Amino acid sequence: MRLSSTPAIKPIMQSYLHQQIMSVLSQLGGTPPDFDLEFQQPANPDHGDLACNVAMQLARHFKKSPRQIAEDIKNGLESLPLDPTKISSVEIAGPGFLNFRIASTYLFDALQDIIDQGETFGRTGLGKGKRALVEFVSANPTGPLTVGHGRNAVLGDTIARLLDWTGYDVEREYYFNDAGRQMRVLGESVKARYLAELDPELGTKWIGDEGERIEVPLPFPEDGYLGDYIADIARELIASGEQIDVEDTDRFKRAAEEKIFAEIEATLSRMAIKMDSYFNERSLYDSGQIWKIIDLFREKDLAYDKDGAVWLKTTAFGKEADTVLVKSTGEPTYRLPDIGYHIEKLERGYDRVVDVFGADHIATFPDVVEGVRALGYDADRIEVVIYQFVTLVRSGQPVKMSTRKATYVTLDELMDEVGEDVTRFFFLMRSPNTHLEFDLDLAKEASDTNPVFYLQYAHARIQSILRKATETGLPERGEVSLAMLVHEAEIALIKTLLGLPEQIARAAELNEPHRLANFLREVAVAFTQFYGNCRIIGEDDSLARSRMELAKATALVLRNGLTVLGISAPDRM
RNA sequence: GCCCUCGUAGCUCAGGGGAUAGAGCACCGGUUUCCUAAACCGGGUGUCGCAAGUUCGAAUCUUGCCGUGGGCACCA
């Protein structure tokens, strides 16, 4: 039997051992000034539950061999002595590692603790009293959300959930701009379709590059939006019977914005995503904040006029060239409102300001962060999560998508095809900074080859066992003795379960939800090994009940973990 | 040309300066009078892109080179 690794033990044992080892080291003659102990969890179970490399690190300091130092520390620890209800053994191995094994009584207490904590197991208080803002999606309402937005949405929402579970007071915000060029073109696109609907004799023209030529009504803008939803909006306007002044392009824009925003919210809602606030870029103009920022840059000699435009000295931030803040037309480039927006967020007092951006922003956000910093704000509070692009794969071939032809796959279509849970999980299961290959065939497969089903199945199976146990007459109440859980699969499972809080905390700290997804797979694997080796129904009542407690704790860990990922934990499949 | 990402098994990818670098898929073989076979068990020879450097120790940190993707507009 191959047992899964034990990612859990470290925080439990570490603080205790840290104290004990430092105490021994001071008896042995002390440590260098800025020295601190390092612990790690061995990949190999033969190396115990926790290892310390202190002997190797201090070989030079003590002018002794690492193994000799390890021997001295071990002797020192044993004469303290170590608490046998916490640590069951200390061994020296390899070049001088100290390998510690956790006492099983400690594990049983910890297991009881999981059960007692129930739905709150996994929560930690690292962010207690702190506030975080996660800004994500932030697509201008020019069309339906696409697969690419989906990765953004799921990452942002899950990061918010992770922060919530680590004690932060979290808000989700959507930033958009309804006053820019994109939205103007959107209004003109709708207007052109509207006119064409009213007047079938209205001429058409061809736009686009060679190979991608598309027929559109004559008034259609060259870079207009081509999706069918534009004509739908136009037809709805006609059907509404409203008298519209066709010169009032803004009316078409507003109609489009309203309709599209409602659809975006509905799409997000399918994935259990709800924004707390929407921030309109326009408010930065209305408040005049934007122009104050330029003055501040000028005062610091970081902005100047040239060729009728206002330039930001990005060369002062290490860039090759300066960049334009305000065009000669008087219209700011995106940098200026972006800087303003981030200052606004920092002034709202958040301890962490997380942005979720696609890879196309990778080179531009540093201008914004450095600009904010240059104005005296604590830009270290800004954390930018960059994710790489998504490729859909069907039958081993990439699905061709073209924004130009509006032949992209929408997020709704993706969810229609593979389901909401699978959509969320697939967007989360890879590190944000790796290019994501979304295999549609795998996503639709209802077997253990699909990682989502594998996790959900483990949960459903536990619930099934618990139902069955009740049906077969196992008394609800009775003696439970967790100390009966001595099989190596049982011990390994307990150790794995204990890792949930640390895994969530680490994923939150690094803004990397995939860590939790990977951890849950380990839990499911460890449970499956337990399931294969240890029966519940049919055993003596007290052993059966003890194992049921372990199974319940496993279900809790799976459900809590899946909840953080925004994925359901079904009782039956 | 410059900046940023990534480069790990046939494929998709984990990997927090540590011990013999892992998982899933695929492929091969086995398991069902037994709590969900939507399952389980067994099977891994890889220049961790290449080369230097730092370190007791490097897939991990530094630098250079090669390759992928993204970006280098008075677009966002």
pLDDT at A23 (0 to 100): 92
Q: Kindly indicate the confidence band of residue A4, based on its pLDDT and cuts at 50, 70 and 90.
A: very low
List of domains in chain A: 9-102 (3.30.1360.70), 131-175+275-387 (3.40.50.620), 181-270 (no CATH), 390-444 (no CATH), 447-565 (1.10.730.10)
Report d(CA A526, CA A492) in Å as an integer: 7
Q: Kindly indicate the confidence band of residue A6, based on its pLDDT and cuts at 50, 70 and 90.
A: very low
Count the residues in chain A: 573
Show which positions of strand B are touched by protein (CB under 7 A): 2-7, 12-26, 34-36, 38-43, 56-57, 69-76
pLDDT at A473 (0 to 100): 77
pLDDT at A407 (0 to 100): 72
pLDDT at A1 (0 to 100): 42
Tokens of A355: 């942005």
More confident call, A478 vs A539: A539
Q: pLDDT per residue over A8-31, tens digit each?
A: 567 678 888 999 999 999 998 888
Q: Is the CB of A54 under 7 A from strand B?
A: no
Report d(CA A452, CA A463) in Å as an integer: 17
Q: pLDDT per residue over A527-536, tens digit each?
A: 999 999 999 9
pLDDT at A2 (0 to 100): 41
Residues of A from 525 to 564 whose C-beta is within 7 A of strand B: which are they? Answer: 525, 528-529, 531-532, 534-538
| Distance set, CA A322 to CA A135, A297, A336, A343 (Å) | 27, 13, 14, 21
Q: Which amino acid is at A210?
A: E
Q: pLDDT per residue over A235-294, tens digit each?
A: 999 999 999 999 999 999 999 999 999 999 999 999 999 999 999 999 999 999 999 999
Q: Which region among A47-51, A345-349, A351-355 has the lowest average model confidence (pLDDT)? A: A47-51
Length A44 CA → B21 C1' (Å)? 12
Q: Kindly indicate the confidence band of residue A374, based on its pLDDT and cuts at 50, 70 and 90.
A: very high
Q: pLDDT per residue over A534-551, tens digit each?
A: 999 988 888 999 999 999
Residues of A from 501 to 520 whose C-beta is within 7 A of strand B: which are they? Answer: 502-503, 506, 512, 514-515, 518
In the predicted structure, residue A55 carries a pLDDT above the cut 80: yes
State the angle between helix axes of A411-418 and A249-270 in degrees (0 to 180), rounded to the nearest 10.
Answer: 30
In the predicted structure, residue A3 carries a pLDDT above the cut 70: no
pLDDT (mean) for A71-93 = 92
Among candidate residues A259, A105, A256, A109, the one with its CA nearest the CA of residue A186: A256
pLDDT at A549 (0 to 100): 94
pLDDT (mean) for A351-359 = 94
Q: Which region among A176-190, A390-404, A422-436 has the lowest average model confidence (pLDDT)? A: A390-404
Mean pLDDT for chain A overall: 90
Q: Which region among A191-195, A446-450, A500-504 has the lowest average model confidence (pLDDT)? A: A446-450
Report d(CA A466, CA A482) in Å as an integer: 17
Length A337 CA → B72 C1' (Å)? 21
Q: pLDDT per residue over A128-145, tens digit each?
A: 999 999 999 999 999 999
Report d(CA A77, CA A35) in Å as an integer: 19
Q: Which region among A192-196, A285-289, A473-477, A487-491 has the lowest average model confidence (pLDDT)? A: A473-477
Report d(CA A311, CA A294) in Å as an integer: 9
Q: Kindly indicate the confidence band of residue A211, based on its pLDDT and cuts at 50, 70 and 90.
A: low
The residue written with tokens 């001071």 in the block is: A26
Tokens of A517: 């997804």
pLDDT at A15 (0 to 100): 83
Residues of A from 240 to 259 whose C-beta is within 7 A of strand B: which are they? Answer: none
